[in-house]
Amino acid sequence: MTVITRFAPSPTGNLHVGNIRAALHNWLFARKYGGQFLLRLDDTDLERSRPEYVDGIKADLNWLGLHWDGEEKQSDRFALYEEKFEALKASGHVYPAYETAQELDLRRKVLLGRGLPPVYDRAALALSADQIAAYEAEGRRPHWRFRLDHDLPIGWTDLIRGDQRFDPKLLSDPVIRRADGSWLYMLPSVIDDIAMGVTHVLRGEDHVSNTATQIQMFAALGATLPAFAHEALLTGSEGKLSKRLGSLGVAHFRESGLEPMAIASLLARLGSSMPVEPFTDLQPLIDSFDFAHFGRAPARFDEGELASLNQKIVHLLPYAAVVDHLPQGMDEAAWDAIRPNLETVAGAADWWRIVTGPIDAPFPVDEDRDFLALAHARLAEASFDAAIWRTLTEALKTETGRKGKALFLPLRRALTGLDHGPDMGQLLPLIGREEALARLSV
């Protein structure tokens, strides 16, 4: 069997971190088994779906390296939905209902007030022909519900949650089509999963009850069930569901200077028993991905952890991977020198300005002025090679008796304008003799 997964966002907004995690896990699972990862744009909401959101979703997936093997748009498939809908009508699996939204809301409140589950009572099935005619005369048009089989227990073995069981009598017959003819999520998703040959449906645990009703839709359409896996939802760093998670998307991560692999490294294992580690390539994440590692505990997303992970990944990146994102003139030696001090690749530009100058160095204190003058003299007469920092500091240590901070800090301040930074043994050769002499002039 060829594994086929799908990512099915609605192009009514930008992808957020929860969407990205779902896309990544579907992609990893498909790649692990040499299968296909499909992109399906669930754009049945024609009023809210926008081409710019479609473009944004694709750009985000490409930036993350999650390339897809096929693409579908639900708005191109209405004829197929109509065909399957008519078949379900003919077989008695769907029925019209005439209640208004206000009437349904009132019924729900009454049931809840009595301490009962707000399950639809199937009143529409008891309507007489005269009552239906009266509703039609009022101008009411029916919405359509899928009729659950109350005698057919619902169950499946979830790849993450284990055995799941639902009593269909405790579920409302889901509305699948609005009175204006537009489609809700439930039925088109099943029709598409069948038509696209999807073998594994991986999504959030908020879809568990949807799966229970959709299982009977698969059966009504004569299709084989895919396997299901429902992941625990992400929570914020404070341990609660966070509205901020709904606004964190790829644009935010890019603007923060984060690497795609930092996002992938964190989200691939978040909520699993496997350690979150910095990776510079997706292959180890593909190889290690396994539903068995995921549990039902909430998965906590922490931006601080992501930033720390990003820093570790930046420190692992070779020059070839970043050369197109570095300032002009910055070579491999400069990258190797500056890289250990970076939080993001973009930060290399700030350090490169320290190398190329000009810098704003603090005026030396009185006791350092003669010391820096001596450093200027010794640097001027020394052979300027890769070991120049060691040559210079050993000479100054011998002549002045200075050591530790008293020896190194005045030199670093004069040469970089800062109290900290990259290894001066690597930085001084990049600054160059003439520029270094100019900076030591006091």
Q: What is the 3-state secondary structure (H, E, C) of the chain?
A: CCCEEEECCCCCCCCCHHHHHHHHHHHHHHHHCCCEEEEEECCCCCCCCCHHHHHHHHHHHHHHCCCCCEEEEHHHCHHHHHHHHHHHHHCCCEEEECCCHHHHHHHHHHHHHCCCCCCCCCHHHHCCHHHHHHHHHHCCCCEEEECCCCCCCEEEEECCCEEEEECHHHCCCCEEECCCCCECCHHHHHHHHHHCCCCEEEEEHHHHHHHHHHHHHHHHCCCCCCEEEEECCEECCCCCCCHHHHCCCHHHHHHCCCCHHHHHHHHHHCCECCCCCCCCCCHHHHHHCCHHHECCCCEECCHHHHHHHHHHHHCCCCHHHHHHHCCCCCCHHHHHHHHHHCCCHHHHHHHHHHHHCCCCCCCCCHHHHHHHHHHHHHHHHCCCCCCHHHHHHHHHHHHHCCCCHHHHHHHHHHHHCCCCCCCHHHHHHHHCHHHHHHHHCC
User: Is 109 known to sit in a ligand binding site?
Assistant: no
Query: Known binding site for ATP: residues?
Result: 243
Detail the residues annotated as belonging to a binding site: 243
